[in-house]
Each structure stands twice: as C-alpha cells, then as structure tokens.
Amino acid sequence: MAIDDFFRARLDQMIDLRHPLAVLAGRIPWSQIEAALAPAFERKNRQGQVVEINDLFGTTQVIAGEGVSAAGRRRLPIRLMSSLLYLKHAFNLSDEELVVRWSENVVWQYFSGQEYYTPKLPCDATQIGRFRTAIGEAGVEALMKATIDTAVQSKAVTPKEFERVIVDTTVQEKAIAHPVDSRLLEIARGKVAQAAKRVGITLKQTFAKEGKALRRKAGGYAHARQFRRLRRAVKRQCTILGIVLREIRRKLTTATTECAASLDRLNTLLERAERIHKQQPKDKNKLYALHAPEVECIGKGKARKPYEFGVKASITVTHKQGLIVGAKTFPGNPYDGHVLHEQLEQTNILLESSSAKPKQVVVDLGFRGANVDNPNMEIIHRGKYKSLTRQQRKWLKRRQAVEPAIGHLKSDHRMDRCWLQGKLGDALHAVLCATGYNLRWLLRAMVRLGLKTAFLRILLLRLANAIRGKFTTADVNTPHAKSVLAAG
C-alpha cells in the first residue's frame, strides 16, 4: 500500500457491505459494459491537411494534423461515468445535484468503483451530458442490457419469464412551454432579429416594443375569453413577423460575419420562423417549439390532458415480475400496432444473453392488426376475447400491470419531461429512464433475496438444532443418528 493511502479511509471499511447498492456493485458486469462502450472513446486517425509554411528557405508545404493525437486530458473511467448515469435516473436527480450528492455519499462512491473516500466532485456536471452523447443509443442500451443480465444472474428473474411480456405506449413530453400561437410568433420575431444582428444585418425596424405589447395583450384577451380581440392581436403579430423575415431575406447577401456557424444558425431560424408564420390552426406537422422542431402533438384520450407535446414511447415489461426489457421512441406519432415489430426487435437484442425470447405479447386494443407484421408472435388483446383460451384470458387480466411501471418512470425516473436535445436526446432519455427503473427494481430484489437467504439459514439452523435435540448421548453413535446429523 502506498504511503499516502495510510491516511485515507477505505470505503469497504466505512460502509455496510450488505447494503443493496454495495451488493449490486459486485453483481453488475462492469467489464462487459466497459468492453461495449470503449470503442466510442478510442482515438481515431485524422486526415492530414496540406498547409504552407514560410521559413528561411522560402515557402514549403507540410502535412499537419495527421495520425493519432496524444494531446488532451485523460478520460475518466467508463465505470465511473456509467455508474453516474445509473444513479442519476435511479434517484431522479439533475446532473448538478448528482455530482454533489456523489461527493457526499460513500455508498455511491463504492458503487462507482472507488477504493477510497474522496470529498471532491467526480467530474463537471457537463461531462455527464457529453459522455451520454458519445456512447449514443447503442451505449445506453448496453447499460440497460447489463441490468437485465444482472437480474438473471442473481436469480431475481428466471429466463422463462421473458417468454411472455406486456407492451404499451405512452408520451414522453418535451421540456417546452405550452405552444400558444402568440408566444411562438413573438419568440420567432425576437430570435430572428437577434440572429440577424449577430451576422451584421441592420434592420430598419425590429418591432421589439410593439411585439412585447401585443404579447401582453394577447395573454389578457385569452384569459378574458375575448377571442375576437385575441385573433386581431395574433394577426398583427403574424404581420410583424412577415415584415422582419422579408427584410432579412433581402439583406442576407450583405452579411459581414466570418463565422459560418452564425450564418447557419440564422438560416435555420429563418426556416423555422417561416413555418410558424405560414402554419394555420388545423395544419398537420405544425412547429410547436422554435428550439425543438421534433415535438409532436399527441392525443391519448385523457380527460385531464387531451393533448401532450413530445414523442411516442413504447415500454415492454415482463408479465410476472415487471422488469422492463424494452424502451424505444417512435417519432412521427405512428399507429401503436405498427411499432410492435420494432419494439420486439429491440427486446430480442436486449435478451440475447438469455435463453428465452418473447413468444406471447399482451397488449391493449391500440395494437389491433399487428399480427401481419409479427406472424410468429402470439398477440393477446381483448378484441378477440371469445377466441382466447382460459389461460390466455387469465394472462390478459394482468395487462394493466404496465401502467404503474409507466407511472413510476414518469414520477420517479425523469420521464415526465425530456430536457435532451433532438430526436437522439428523446431516444437516449427513454432508455436511460428504463435503466434507472431497472436499477431500483434490482435494489428491491437484493433486499428480497437477502431476507430470503437469511430466513432459510435461520430455518436450517433451527432444524439442525431440533434434530440434534432428538438424540441422547447414547444414540449419537448409531448409524441412523450419524446420517441425520450429517444431513443437518
């Protein structure tokens, strides 16, 4: 042991090793996770560029930037970053809260593979987002697959239970404000004018003061249910936005900026602002957020919330234990029956380490007509109740077991609002929320299995004592007594 370690406290001597998270730290296949995620962080060969250099002998051409660069700080351990993603979604924390609590929690540090306690932050909060983007959708699915493999290896779930699953869809809402036309028009006008100023375009009039007043008036008219005045104010906002857009289009060739990113940003904003300017109340493929064009309006028939703004997500859980074995987003708001094939394909990939694959799928009426795309799958729903067997009707009674799982995903594991950018962010967030759910499921399973093991140990000890008490000292030497004592 190094000299400096003499003054540091080992984590395994500070915590109770029977803690469920400490037990789980030794059961998760960290080497398998590192092998799956390591290719995303390999240094890659870069193509060199020919540049001209002036020296004492004149102008010469050299190749710069070729080969593998050794510059840069060493990356953080993959196990540390993976465990941070596990803990973030298991305990419903933001990136900033996560790193602070990690520095204070010795059990979390032990779960992350640390040997000694450290009061420092594990990393900057922004590094968690960069790590998540770097591993991509395949990487977060590897994290989820590790939780399923751990459940099988710990005997918390048997592979046979994977043969029957429940599939349902929900809406993963995006972190946007409610899309009111007045607000969208005002934000589009302000953002476009600001981007034009950044690239050197001087506008004749930005309508900043009038736009702010119209936005305030529209809010008051909507609250007072004065819809005729509201439509008049929104119409004027639409006119103002059109004036600003046309002037920027005319002066776009006079942009003086040398930064291509600023010009690209302006072009992107112009395209989205024109969509907002032209869209009508009943148009399809409307733009509901200037910064998130992937957001869709989805109605699930809820009385308390007729419309939700986000992306459709599909969840697959085991029929008996409720372990999540699939989570996937489907942009475009497709029909539920059309997403079943892709969802089951992801589930088969996550279960490839087990010996069982889904054979029966219990669904609701939204999945009617999915038999054509899944010919080898037994699809059970109440639409064909008369043709179901008694066993299938019994399975169908447990279909609603997926609903509390979706509720916990939204209330306890951050699926209620997605703060990640773009369609990729939606996909990563859905899988990570399901991964956090599985980690909490495993923690409860560790407690359940530990209590069961302790109960059996006590029961066997008492049984052995009872058996030993039946024999006297003279009877111990008999063959029957020796065989009973040996078995006890």
Rounded-to-integer distance, Cα 19 and Cα 446, Å: 9
Q: Is the pLDDT of residue 64 over 80?
A: no
Q: Is the pLDDT of residue 1 over 70?
A: no
Q: What is the pLDDT of residues 111-128, one digit of tens each?
A: 999 999 999 999 999 999
- How is residue 416 written in tokens? 């209620």
pTM: 0.85
pLDDT grade, residue 327 (50/70/90)? very high
Q: Which helix (H) or strand (E) holds 201?
A: none
Q: What is the pLDDT of residue 48?
A: 67
Would strands 360-362 and 378-380 be described as parallel, antiparallel, or unpaired? parallel
Tell me the Ramachandran region of residue 414: left when phi exceeds 0, alpha when psi lies from -120 to 50, beta otherwise. Answer: left
Q: Tell me if 166 sits within 8 A of 401, measured CB to CB.
A: yes
Nearest CA to 363 out of 314, 320, 324 is that of 314
Backbone angles phi, psi at 166, to 5 degrees: -120, 135
Rounded-to-integer distance, Cα 459 and Cα 97, Å: 44
Would strands 296-298 and 164-173 be described as parallel, antiparallel, or unpaired? unpaired
Q: What is the pLDDT of residue 484?
A: 45
Question: Counting beta carbons within 10 angstroms of the beta carbon of residue 248, is it exposed (0 to 12), middle (13 to 18) or buried (19 or more)?
Answer: buried
Q: What is the pLDDT of residues 72-88, one digit of tens each?
A: 677 899 999 999 999 99
Q: Tell me if 137 sits within 8 A of 431, measured CB to CB.
A: yes
pLDDT grade, residue 413 (50/70/90)? very high
Q: What is the pLDDT of residue 485?
A: 46
The three-state secondary structure class of 328 is strand
Nearest CA to 136 out of 439, 431, 483, 465 is that of 431
Q: What is the pLDDT of residue 89?
A: 96
The 10 Å CB-count burial string (b at 16+, else e) for 450-477 is: eeeeeeeeeeeeeeeeeeeeebeeeeee
Q: Which helix (H) or strand (E) holds 474?
A: none
Q: Is the pLDDT of residue 457 over 80?
A: no
Rounded-to-integer distance, Cα 481 and Cα 461, Å: 17
Q: What is the pLDDT of residue 253?
A: 85
Count CB neighbours of 43 within 10 A. 12
Backbone angles phi, psi at 168, to 5 degrees: -150, 160
- How is residue 370 written in tokens? 């999915």
Q: What is the pLDDT of residue 69?
A: 59
- How is residue 33 written in tokens? 């996770």
Length of the chain: 488
Count CB neighbours of 284 within 10 A. 6
pLDDT grade, residue 284 (50/70/90)? confident
Mean pLDDT computed over every residue of the chain: 88
Four-residue CA torsion sign, 369, 432, 147, 43: positive
Q: Is the pLDDT of residue 3 over 90?
A: no
Class of 143-176+296-442 in CATH: alpha beta
- How is residue 8 written in tokens? 């540091």
Choose the weakest-confidence range: 4-18, 111-125, 340-354, 418-432: 4-18
Q: What is the pLDDT of residue 83?
A: 96
How far from the centroid of its chain's Cα atoms is residue 266's Cα? 30
Domain limits, the chain: 143-176+296-442, 181-278
Rounded-to-integer distance, Cα 419 and Cα 406, Å: 18
DSSP-derived secondary structure for 6-62: GGS-BGGGTS-TTSHHHHHHTTS-HHHHHHHHGGGG----B--EEEEEEETTEEEEE
Q: What is the pLDDT of residue 2?
A: 43
